[in-house]
């Protein structure tokens, strides 16, 4: 898509600057510098506006700075003759007092009288760009550029839902929206729960608020906003645009931004499904590699020992066949778990560590090994997949430890840990144990701990390995919702 460096064909240029109490520039974006004939915005920093702007703009800027002292916002227009095309150029200037006491200046120059058909055509072209990428950041930036440069909305922000917080997190915004909250860090703000903005997202219905400052539950009570349009982006987030000066969001803009938000939602959905498809293909590729390579070893053992048994009549060779078959069965089962399920987890519920660990222990051949569960607690997890975690960790301890190894499960402040008194894992191997295919055992598949990490990631947990107090291995799971129960110790043999 052709553009002025933004990826969007634009008929409007939007310059943004911030003036301090001395009326000197403390921020300017590239478009603002270009509008006033500067190659680098840095040339404007700490310079008074009267020395940087043409005399034709002086009256408007002076009026704006004077008015913003009283009302906190002002809007004006400058028209000047353009010798290059013998026509008139129009600049619309918006002045807004930021939360830090500085003045935000937004200068818009270009054709704001584009036909509805032209804007729809530009939206259609931008939609092709939205669907051509799987990167969320590119989709978000394209949406902001269209709203700003095609639909003439300089104060626009896109928030998306996040698994890490209950807030809607800002992922892209125009320069004007960034500096409105303060020019020091240019950080956009998240949308917290129980606000007008969050309820609009949760409802799935757009909201046009014509008197934003009168809303008691607005997310940004300190921002000098007049009209605010909030449009949900499918199930992914919220697109918002605002008018800080006395004005309104026109009906045509409302409809166009609604179409844009809908297209952004579709693009994000396509990107999410494409990334999941790539992950599934990667897991299937790994499965194919295991089938074609790792299964050849057990198959060779089976073939050779069957032949020896036939030649000698010694059925003891079949014991090796049984072990090879067991290893193949485990290998196929574990790799299929990764290939089919990946990060997917079922509906989480409150699950007892004692009950789940005990159930997992009893499902395995543990011989003389001992399981100790110190204190019960419940965690928010998929019970079946949590049991899979315990099964793989217990099997790892039993296979690598002594016959009478002791395995301990204990809740921690924000998770739980599984420890043993076996030989432990060398420090230089601890970053590799979760790699698929990594094993130090001749009978190991190298997928058990990879499954543990995959299940943890699917729940949003983190897992790490260190040394236990007894010198063995200690797997620590963090970032869980833990509810500690009655103190008791459960032992299983």
pLDDT at res. 376: 79
For residues 127 and 7, give the distance between their C-alpha atoms in angstroms, rounded to a whole number.
12
For residues 50 and 65, give the distance between their C-alpha atoms in angstroms, rounded to a whole number.
12
**Would you mind telling me the total number of residues written for the chain in this entry?**
493
pLDDT in tens, 24-82: 999 999 999 999 999 999 999 999 999 999 999 999 999 989 988 887 778 888 887 66
pLDDT in tens, 460-473: 899 999 999 999 99
3-class DSSP assignment, residue 65? helix
Do 116-270 and 12-110 fall under one CATH topology?
A: yes
Beta strands in 256-361 (DSSP E): 349-352
Q: How confident is the model at residue 7 (pLDDT cuts 50, 70, 90)?
A: very low
Would you kindly state where each structural domain of the chain is located, as residue ranges? 12-110, 116-270, 295-341, 349-492
Report whether 302 contacts 321 (CB < 8 A): yes
For residues 7 and 137, give the distance between their C-alpha atoms in angstroms, rounded to a whole number.
13
Report whether 260 contacts 124 (CB < 8 A): no
For residues 40 and 427, give the distance between their C-alpha atoms in angstroms, rounded to a whole number.
51
Going by CATH, does the domain composed of 349-492 fall within 3.30.565.10? yes
pLDDT in tens, 155-179: 899 999 988 889 999 999 988 888 8
* DSSP structure string for 71-105: HSEEEEEEEEEETTTTEEEEEEEEEEE-TTS-EEE
Q: How confident is the model at residue 489 (pLDDT cuts 50, 70, 90)?
A: low
Report whether 282 contacts 338 (CB < 8 A): no
Q: Is the pLDDT confidence value at 2 over 50?
A: no
For residues 219 and 388, give the distance between their C-alpha atoms in angstroms, rounded to a whole number.
42
List residues bridging with 238 in a β-sheet: 159, 232
Q: Is the pLDDT confidence value at 184 over 80?
A: no
For residues 477 and 452, give the distance between their C-alpha atoms in angstroms, rounded to a whole number.
10
Q: Which two tokens stand for residue 467?
A: 């040394």
Dihedral sign for Cα atoms in the order 394, 395, 396, 399: positive
Alpha carbons within 13 angstroms on the beta-carbon side of residue 477 total 30
Report strand pairing: 73-82 vs 87-97.
antiparallel
pLDDT at res. 417: 94
Report strand pairing: 370-374 vs 406-412.
parallel
For residues 107 and 103, give the distance between their C-alpha atoms in angstroms, rounded to a whole number.
13
Q: What angle do CA 481, 483, 487 make, to 5 degrees?
A: 145
- Classify domain 116-270 at the CATH topology level: Beta-Lactamase (3.30.450)
Q: What angle do CA 238, 68, 223 make, to 5 degrees?
A: 25
pLDDT at res. 279: 72
pLDDT at res. 288: 63
Going by CATH, does the domain composed of 12-110 fall within 3.30.450.20? yes
Would you put residue 367 in left (φ > 0), alpha (ψ -120 to 50) or beta?
A: left
217 CB burial (10 A radius; 0-12, 13-18, 19+): exposed
Backbone angles phi, psi at 238, to 5 degrees: -145, 135
Q: Which residues contact 117 (CB under 8 A, 6 or more apart)?
A: none
Report strand pairing: 349-352 vs 377-381.
antiparallel
pLDDT in tens, 380-405: 998 877 887 898 899 888 887 788 89
Report strand pairing: 406-412 vs 415-420.
antiparallel
């Amino acid at each position: 898509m052709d553009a002025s460096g933004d990826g969007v064909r634009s008929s409007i240029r939007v310059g943004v600057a911030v003036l301090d109490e001395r009326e000197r520039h403390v921020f300017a974006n590239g478009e603002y510098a270009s509008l006033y004939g500067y190659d680098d915005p840095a040339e404007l920093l700490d310079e008074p506006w009267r020395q940087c702007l043409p005399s034709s703009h002086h009256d408007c800027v002076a009026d704006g700075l004077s008015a913003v002292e009283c009302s906190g916002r002002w809007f004006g227009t400058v028209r000047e003759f353009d010798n290059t095309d013998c026509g008139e150029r129009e600049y619309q200037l918006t002045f807004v007092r930021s939360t830090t006491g500085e003045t935000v200046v937004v200068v818009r120059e270009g054709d704001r009288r584009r036909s509805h058909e032209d804007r729809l055509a530009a939206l259609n072209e931008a939609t092709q760009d939205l669907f051509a990428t799987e990167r969320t950041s590119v989709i978000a930036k394209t949406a902001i550029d269209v709203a700003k440069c095609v639909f003439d909305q300089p104060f626009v922000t896109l928030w998306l839902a996040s698994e890490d917080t209950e807030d809607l997190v800002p992922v892209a915004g125009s320069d004007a929206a960034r500096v409105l909250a303060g020019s020091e860090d240019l950080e956009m703000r998240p949308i917290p729960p129980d606000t007008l903005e969050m309820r609009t997202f949760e409802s799935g219905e757009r909201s046009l608020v014509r008197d934003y400052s009168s809303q008691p539950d607005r997310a940004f009570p300190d921002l000098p906003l007049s009209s605010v349009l909030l449009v949900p982006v499918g199930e992914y987030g919220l697109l918002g645009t605002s008018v800080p000066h006395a004005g309104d969001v026109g009906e045509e803009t409302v409809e166009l931004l609604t179409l844009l938000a809908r297209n952004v939602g579709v693009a994000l959905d396509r990107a999410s499904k494409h990334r999941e498809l790539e992950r599934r293909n990667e897991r299937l590729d790994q499965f194919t590699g295991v089938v074609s390579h790792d299964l050849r070893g057990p198959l060779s053992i089976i073939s050779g020992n069957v032949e020896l048994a036939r030649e000698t009549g010694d059925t003891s060779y079949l014991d090796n066949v049984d072990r090879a078959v067991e290893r193949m069965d485990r290998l196929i089962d574990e790799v299929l778990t990764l290939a089919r399920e990946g990060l997917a987890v079922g509906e989480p519920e409150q699950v007892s560590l004692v009950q789940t660990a005990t159930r997992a222990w009893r499902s395995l051949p543990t011989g003389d090994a001992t399981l100790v569960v110190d204190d019960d607690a419940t965690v928010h997890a998929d019970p079946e997949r949590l049991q899979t975690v315990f099964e793989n960790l217990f099997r790892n301890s039993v296979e690598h430890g002594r016959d009478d190894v002791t395995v301990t499960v204990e809740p921690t402040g924000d998770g739980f840990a599984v420890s043993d008194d076996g030989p432990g894992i060398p420090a230089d191997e601890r970053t590799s144990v979760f790699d698929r295919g990594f094993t130090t055992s001749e009978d190991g598949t190298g997928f058990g701990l990879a499954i543990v990490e995959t299940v943890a990631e699917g729940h949003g947990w983190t897992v790490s390995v260190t040394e236990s107090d007894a010198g063995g291995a200690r797997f620590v799971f963090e970032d869980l919702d833990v509810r500690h129960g009655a103190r008791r110790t459960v032992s299983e043999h």
